[in-house]
Structure 1
Amino acid sequence: MSLLKVTDLGVTFQPPDGPPARAVESVSFHVDAGEVLAIVGESGSGKTVTALSLLGLNPEEPTCTTTGSIVLDGKDLRQLDRPGWRAVRGADVAMVFQDPSSALNPLLTIGTQIMDAVRAHEPLSRDQARKRAIEALTQARLTEPERRLNQYTHELSGGMRQRAAIALAIAARPRLLIADEPTTALDVSVQAGILSMLRSLCDELDMGLILITHDLGVVAEQADRVCVMYAGRVVESGPTAQVLGDPQMPYTQALMAATPRVDAPARQRLTSVTGQPPNLASRPPGCSFAPRCPVAVDSCTEQAPALVELGHDHRAACVHAGTGRQVLPAEQVAQDRPHLTGPASAPASHRTTDDVLAEFDAVDLRYPIRSGLLRRVTRHVEAVRGVSLTVAPGETLALVGESGSGKTSLTKMLLRLEKPSAGAVRYDGIDVDRPSPSERRRLQREVQVVFQNPYASLDPRMTVRQTLAEPLRVHGLEYGEADLARLLADVGLDAAALDRHPSAFSGGQRQRIAIARALALRPRLIVCDEAVSALDVSIQAQVLNLLADLQAEHGIAYLFITHNLAVVRSVAHRIAVMREGQIVEQGRAEDIYDSPRHEYTKELLSMAPGHPAGLGAPRTAADATPDSHRDGVAPAPSRDEERSAAWPG
């Protein structure tokens, strides 16, 4: 008997002025105890709305109408009233949200939050609740759990915050855990530890896990089964090895073609999914993917295809299902993914001044630590130590490394958000720390940044139109409606978004808006701090191809910070690997990937989801986190090697 069974779930939103939007339509799936079900799809496909329905967190009627059946352990959750839902949330079903910083209360200690959550569902004393909190933190693989009880959110790193959020979710021992993009902005070592920990929790607690993600490498390694959603419908589902090894729905095939691979040739153009998802308020007849599908036939636009049983619990909603027809034959994929153009990177030692756009010259950055009643400086944290790097015009330099390695601190000095403690940072001959007024204005226009967190980088009070127009207006540039619409089209959004506020968009859509804003001034250098980490693979491919096109056309340089080594493979000319504030290895991207020299670089590459070196053998959290003590990671059991075989190639 299934732990969770969802049948014909439908969710329709009714805006105050406009037609209803059917965000979820006829969705059915099941989750067994101890099983991991992955739900994948583009932003706006209905993944998160489906998950919120399982917790009764969708708006009430008439704003939102929910239909269908949600049965958990024999209990129909759709029949619950408000007190009934409050009793279920946390105790029976819990959720780990995408952004742990917003999920945790910054005014309360981690221990207080977990203890309050437990006591809301069970009649425990404070001592009993404290023991349960320590147990949850231990299960979430946080070292020194008793110490973490008294810490606040701001005292934890990104990976530790996500583990604390997971501890909060599992403290009341729910039967079902929903993880919505739990590792989106985390580096590969922390990601590997958290995913391994979530997998082990399913085995230890006999708990079902719904994993919402856009990373198909993660799906291949962690999920038992997968549901692919598009425009509010499930278009393919089944065992992970079946769906990813032999995808039958053209949309699934397109997602896999758009996914960057660590073992792919360097700097190849990604195969993006053309077009945009349909407007759910005016859904076209027939298959919703038909307008974007290269193998659509006339019948595809007449009637929506039902899920066809293909055997072994594998189903696909396509008239071509079972025929073996591919969206793009292998030879056409090769033709459509040419080698990206770009400068041949000369060794840094052989570059002339004209070859250098941005330069870090023996840079140090130290943060003072104050203590005592007088708050005197007692010591320093060395975030960056003696780093020397250069970025050439039209070049992409990728900075990779664990959280806390100094990547963002280094780029803050280029953006004039921090002053170097030693050394110098120069941009096109300008001393960034001491620019003249005209040089400062030039820096503000020619050096742009896309920050990691799309929830914090956009002003919630400004519409998208105001957000895009602001830099153009500040720099006295003329613009019109067509210019703003073109910026949105470049990142896969339509002009209808111009008059909406950030709260109306998903995390991935907000990041696209942030990228469009950075592109508005056509800068010479863009700092991309995890710029595509929140994007689904189809939009990620579009944005990466767009960045490559702009680089080829305008000679834009990128300083690309990311934890996704497959993305680095597809965009970088050169790579610099940072660890504990220092550069441990740098060179041409091909050389770093083909023959890494430093052990730390080898470890990072081996931990990338879908990397051949990491497939076919169990890996423990100790293997997956070379410096685990720095992020509060404790060992976790090995993952099931069978999931590794799901990633083809």
Structure 2
Amino acid sequence: MTLLEIEDLSVTFNGGPSSPAVRAVDSVDLTLEAGETLAVVGESGSGKTVTALSLLGLNPPEPVCGTTGSIRLDGTDLRALGPREWRAVRGRRVAMVFQDPGSALNPLLTLGIQITDAVRAHERLTREQARRRAVKALEQARMPEPERRLRQYPHELSGGMRQRAAIALAIAARPRLLIADEPTTALDVAVQAEIMAMLRSLCVDLGMGLILITHDLGVVAEQADRVAVMYAGRVVESGPAAQVLKRPRMPYTQALLAATPRLDAPARTRLVSIEGQPPRLRDRPSGCSFANRCPVAVDDCATTAPPLTLFDGGHAAACLFADAPVEPPAARTAPAARAVPAELSETVAEASAEPPIAEFDAVDLRYPVRSGALRRVTGHVHAVQGVSLKVEAGRTLALVGESGSGKTSLTKLLLRLERPSGGTVRYDGIDVTRPGPADLRRLQREVQVVFQNPYASLDPRLTVRQILEEPLRVHGLDAGEDTLTGLLRDVGLDSFALDRFPSAFSGGQRQRIAIARALALRPRLIVCDEAVSALDVSIQAQVLNLLADLQAEHGMAYLFITHDLAVVRSVAHRIAVMRHGRIVEEGAAEDIYAAPAHEYTRELLARAPGRNTPSAGGPAISPTAGDTRPSPTAPLSQNKERSPLWRR
């Protein structure tokens, strides 16, 4: 039974008198069956979220935004609904899990009030019945201690727990269609697997349709029935997930697969990024939008816009070579694997003999628990318990573990955002809890951080130019146009972004701006708290390669917090696995991947998505004889152009 039909959907944002209109979604056709999962993938700014917002009627009204085409849900024309009808549809028939759970949850209300209000808005239930429904929704979202969470506010939860609360809020009213915009971005692999299994079971049990917006192709391979690939506002390839991922017909899909980090790749292998940048939608080319980045483009690609052509098995692609996909040159010439360069190995060996640049010595962190009318301290939450770690200069220490295990709390001690309850935290010999004025200024310049949430880490009142200029001016560094443009180019953005505000960018684009700000001061140590989790795979590969280059050239160290074990394999020299505030396993990355000693580490590796992801040449993402896409370990084009800041 067809649940959702989208025909010729176009969304145009109208500029002012001097600004041309921008068509963010261009002639999109999609269908979704009841009980089916449709994954929508593509780079940031490709139109995925705008398409999803159209299904909820949340795009700006006329004349700011114009929408054309047809959207039918269970036979109802959603575009014909008025404001009163939309209120009955949102939450009950169509619900959405937004990319940023912090902005989706009301900070002034407890989770219990928010979820019960959402249920009672659509169903005649008593408060007790609604409360039981809220507990059930939290249980389905795999929230620990759901009864207790009902009394908590969003700021009392970790990022992963807030994401689970947002999912519970969306599914509490049991909608017919659930739109999940990057629902597992903030979740560790164990919870990610549970959440996706839960969403799949809801689709089957309730006949609910799921639109999954994600950049994680491993999740797509394991969870999606069908996939639609979007680029520059258009669907450029669609079809059954296994077929599209096994034999992609569009070079852009091949490039996304090639850029995906893999668990079976050699350690610290350079990733393949997509050269160039997507076209600006207000200057859309007359031919194929991907032509300027495509390794197999011919002259006709620049002048002829290929239609979305349907092939056997419901597989469709918009490419002049879709009927006989052309193997990109990189796939034919690339070696099977690329090891770490000899000069980098020498640098690493020298670095390992030096004193650590950062050190945690038997560190404890306890948060007080207050209760009662007088808010007296009645207990403590042990976020960090007796942790000892060393971050060596020029090396990357990856800190992995489930949400709420204490990873971010530990790094807050190094950043002076929390004071340890016990133990010592040092940076290059400086006790970070008691630095002098000169040491404090040095800490503020040499230790930078990329926070997990790009929506909260950028000041919405400042332009990108002001965001990048501020730290440079504070520390007396050059903040000229060339420097700022170079920083943006390093993270895959154009100079036109300088005079725009953060609200004009997608979540992935905002994270790139945050990374550029962290790189601006040429720090010696960067704390990356899920720094690439919000990025699509092509930009993720570009940023990870940039970080590796800076480490090789400048001896920069990274404390890398992530739940993506494939990313960890591509960047980490050492891994520390954290659970319940303690380090349960630590060692060289190669040793832990080859023979994990702790049961929890083995569980994390077993649950990592994409271990058996279909590829163009076989059942797993690994270079094989028949692979028709670029090898993920192929060398990048050696473009050494970098910002003037790093050449100094």
CA–CA separation in structure 1 for the residues paired with 2:533 and 2:149:
28
Q: 2:386 matched to 1:394?
A: no
CA–CA separation in structure 2 for the residues paired with 1:194 and 1:611:
18
Q: 2:37 matched to 1:40?
A: no
3-state SS, counterpart of residue 526 of structure 1: strand
CA–CA separation in structure 1 for the residues paired with 2:541 and 2:572:
14
Greater Cα shift, 412-421 or 313-322: 412-421
* Corresponding residue for residue 197 of structure 1: 198
Matches within 5 A, 1:403-418: 403-418=403-418
Greater Cα shift, 300-309 or 152-161: 152-161
Q: Relative to 1, partners in 2 of residues 1:392 and 1:331: Cα closer, same or farther, differing over 3 Å?
A: farther
Greater Cα shift, 262-271 or 119-128: 119-128
Q: Are the aligned partners of 1:345 and 1:588 in contact in 2 as well (CA < 8 Å)?
A: no
Instruction: Map Cα deviations across residues 261-283 of structure 1 (whole Å, 9 max, x no partner).
Output: 11111111000001001000010
Q: Which runs of 5+ in 2 are unaligned?
A: 623-648
- Alpha-carbon offset, residue 66 of structure 1: 0.5
- Alpha-carbon offset, residue 144 of structure 1: 5.3
CA–CA separation in structure 2 for the residues paired with 1:531 and 1:147:
30
* Corresponding residue for residue 532 of structure 2: 532
* Corresponding residue for residue 304 of structure 1: 305
3-state SS, counterpart of residue 62 of structure 1: coil
* Corresponding residue for residue 572 of structure 1: 572
Instruction: Map Cα deviations across residues 180-234 of structure 1 (whole Å, 9 max, x no partner).
Output: 0111111111211111111111011110000000000010111000000000000
Q: Relative to 1, partners in 2 of residues 1:288 and 1:44: Cα closer, same or farther, differing over 3 Å?
A: same
CA–CA separation in structure 1 for the residues paired with 2:349 and 2:385:
22
CA–CA separation in structure 2 for the residues paired with 1:449 and 1:147:
32
* Corresponding residue for residue 480 of structure 1: 480
Q: Relative to 1, partners in 2 of residues 1:361 and 1:475: Cα closer, same or farther, differing over 3 Å?
A: same
Q: Relative to 1, partners in 2 of residues 1:190 and 1:306: Cα closer, same or farther, differing over 3 Å?
A: same
- Alpha-carbon offset, residue 647 of structure 1: 5.0
Greater Cα shift, 39-48 or 150-159: 150-159
CA–CA separation in structure 1 for the residues paired with 2:340 and 2:12:
44
CA–CA separation in structure 2 for the residues paired with 1:273 and 1:435:
43
3-state SS, counterpart of residue 339 of structure 1: coil
CA–CA separation in structure 1 for the residues paired with 2:384 and 2:462:
35
Instruction: Map Cα deviations across residues 620-643 of structure 1 (whole Å, 9 max, x no partner).
Output: xxxxxxxxxxxxxxxxxxxxxxxx
Amino acid at match of 1:533: S
- Alpha-carbon offset, residue 330 of structure 1: 3.4
Give TM-score, length-normalised by structure 2: 0.91
3-state SS, counterpart of residue 219 of structure 1: helix
Q: 2:181 matched to 1:183?
A: no
Q: Are the aligned partners of 1:240 and 1:646 in contact in 2 as well (CA < 8 Å)?
A: no
Q: Relative to 1, partners in 2 of residues 1:388 and 1:145: Cα closer, same or farther, differing over 3 Å?
A: closer
- Alpha-carbon offset, residue 342 of structure 1: 3.3
CA–CA separation in structure 2 for the residues paired with 1:523 and 1:411:
16
Matches within 5 A, 1:264-275: 264-275=265-276
- Alpha-carbon offset, residue 338 of structure 1: 5.3
- Alpha-carbon offset, residue 386 of structure 1: 2.2
Q: 2:437 matched to 1:437?
A: yes
* Corresponding residue for residue 428 of structure 2: 428
Instruction: Map Cα deviations across residues 307-359 of structure 1 (whole Å, 9 max, x no partner).
Output: 122210111111111313223453434379553563569899x965x342112
CA–CA separation in structure 1 for the residues paired with 2:213 and 2:619:
17
- Alpha-carbon offset, residue 6 of structure 1: 0.5
Q: Are the aligned partners of 1:51 and 1:178 in contact in 2 as well (CA < 8 Å)?
A: yes
Matches within 5 A, 1:309-320: 309-320=310-321
Matches within 5 A, 1:557-636: 557-612=557-612
CA–CA separation in structure 1 for the residues paired with 2:518 and 2:165:
33
- Alpha-carbon offset, residue 369 of structure 1: 3.1
* Corresponding residue for residue 630 of structure 2: none
Instruction: Map Cα deviations across residues 370-429 of structure 1 (whole Å, 9 max, x no partner).
Output: 445655544332222222222222111111111222211221121122222222222222
- Alpha-carbon offset, residue 237 of structure 1: 0.4
CA–CA separation in structure 2 for the residues paired with 1:283 and 1:338:
39
* Corresponding residue for residue 359 of structure 1: 359
Q: Are the aligned partners of 1:221 and 1:647 in contact in 2 as well (CA < 8 Å)?
A: no
* Corresponding residue for residue 520 of structure 1: 520
CA–CA separation in structure 2 for the residues paired with 1:393 and 1:135:
48
CA–CA separation in structure 2 for the residues paired with 1:436 and 1:596:
42
Q: 2:32 matched to 1:31?
A: yes
Q: Which runs of 5+ in 1 are unaligned?
A: 617-644
CA–CA separation in structure 1 for the residues paired with 2:171 and 2:42:
26
* Corresponding residue for residue 95 of structure 1: 96
* Corresponding residue for residue 67 of structure 1: 68
* Corresponding residue for residue 249 of structure 2: 248
* Corresponding residue for residue 281 of structure 2: 280
CA–CA separation in structure 1 for the residues paired with 2:6 and 2:397:
46
CA–CA separation in structure 1 for the residues paired with 2:288 and 2:344:
39
Q: 2:327 matched to 1:326?
A: yes
CA–CA separation in structure 2 for the residues paired with 1:420 and 1:130:
38
Amino acid at match of 2:57: G
3-state SS, counterpart of residue 95 of structure 2: strand
Q: 2:155 matched to 1:154?
A: yes
CA–CA separation in structure 2 for the residues paired with 1:8 and 1:328:
35
Q: 2:262 matched to 1:261?
A: yes
Give TM-score, length-normalised by structure 1: 0.91
* Corresponding residue for residue 342 of structure 1: 344
Q: Relative to 1, partners in 2 of residues 1:469 and 1:133: Cα closer, same or farther, differing over 3 Å?
A: same
Q: Are the aligned partners of 2:348 and 2:394 in contact in 1 as well (CA < 8 Å)?
A: no
Q: Are the aligned partners of 2:455 and 2:510 in contact in 1 as well (CA < 8 Å)?
A: yes
Matches within 5 A, 1:169-180: 169-180=170-181
3-state SS, counterpart of residue 335 of structure 2: helix
Q: Are the aligned partners of 2:400 and 2:576 in contact in 1 as well (CA < 8 Å)?
A: yes
Matches within 5 A, 1:110-125: 110-125=111-126
Q: Are the aligned partners of 1:220 and 1:647 in contact in 2 as well (CA < 8 Å)?
A: no
* Corresponding residue for residue 22 of structure 1: 23
* Corresponding residue for residue 549 of structure 2: 549
Q: Are the aligned partners of 1:199 and 1:222 in contact in 2 as well (CA < 8 Å)?
A: yes
Q: Relative to 1, partners in 2 of residues 1:432 and 1:129: Cα closer, same or farther, differing over 3 Å?
A: closer
Q: Relative to 1, partners in 2 of residues 1:521 and 1:30: Cα closer, same or farther, differing over 3 Å?
A: same
CA RMSD of aligned residues (A): 2.2
Matches within 5 A, 1:161-172: 161-172=162-173
Greater Cα shift, 226-235 or 128-137: 128-137
% identity of equivalent residues: 73
Greater Cα shift, 526-535 or 339-348: 339-348
3-state SS, counterpart of residue 184 of structure 2: coil
* Corresponding residue for residue 55 of structure 2: 54
Matches within 5 A, 1:189-228: 189-228=190-229
Greater Cα shift, 208-217 or 382-391: 382-391
Q: Are the aligned partners of 1:23 and 1:232 in contact in 2 as well (CA < 8 Å)?
A: yes
* Corresponding residue for residue 509 of structure 2: 509
Matches within 5 A, 1:140-151: 140-142=141-143, 145-151=146-152
Q: Relative to 1, partners in 2 of residues 1:339 and 1:81: Cα closer, same or farther, differing over 3 Å?
A: same
